[in-house]
Structure 1
Amino acid sequence: MTEHRDVAVIGAGQAGLATSYYLTEAGCDHVVLERDRAGERWRSEKWDSFTLVTPNVMSRFPGFSYEGDESDGLLTCDEVAEYLETYVDRFDPPFMTGVEVLAVRKHDAADTVETTDTIHETTNVIVATGPFQRLRIPEFGAEFSSCSNPRRRRF
């Protein structure tokens, strides 16, 4: 099966979900692709005693701030995963879970993102995976339309 989207976002962690929020706000047709669940790295790839190093009051996503009782506390891995899950429930991004991205290919007409169950034809791909990623907008990014690159925000 092949689907067309203006933007494909790979990864549903903090960066991918925040990107989806702004794409939705800009009216861009997009999909967020995630191999497991939102914030899976927080669930399965951190040690149990890990906590954020910033107080909870500083934890926020676009349109969603920390709402708990311990504003000076530090979220644990499980609490971060729960926070991401709550964000997904409230924001309801165009989200596909349980699909692994196998390849991203450049074509003349449209790029393709091949997953375990679908091929997505897309104009733009945003890779928002992994810890400690740095934003990199290639030189050809200046050619993006306003929908493809709504604000060039750093997350």
Structure 2
Amino acid sequence: MSSMTQRGTTARADLLGGLEQEVGVMIRRIRRVIGERARSVHPDLQSSSYLMLTWLNQHGAQRASAMVEAFGIDKGAISRQVQHLLDLGLVDRTPDPDDGRATLISISGAAAARINEVRDDRRRWLDDRLGDWPDSDLSEFVRMLASYNAALDA
């Protein structure tokens, strides 16, 4: 391998290492923020259940089978999280009008209002931190993150 090719390979490896490091920092930050958001909705809300709750807020009433597919976890884990959310009064379970044997899980009105408040607070906080970023930089960052995520999903 020529020294020019080797330098290019080393530079690429260094860039990928830097990407892994920064993504690691972002993941740790996201985990912390999700925990904070969960506790802001309800002091006993688990982070994983918070993610399910926000998904229900976005997608509306769903069967447990749709949640299994969306989260890629087994039905038992979904059932435990749904029960946790029911115990906290954050979701409601109703019969599915299309299939009397099935039930639909939906976010309670109070939980939806609280999640929206937490989201709005977080967006204001984020806007404060990124206030000096021009919209064009923010747009490019969002585009690049979407491209990164799409590349990893492929």
> Shorter-chain TM-score: what band?
under 0.3
Instruction: Name the structure where helix makes up a greater proportion of residues.
Output: 2
Q: TM-score, normalised by structure 2?
A: 0.26
Instruction: Name the structure where strand makes up a greater proportion of residues.
Output: 1
Q: TM-score, normalised by structure 1?
A: 0.26
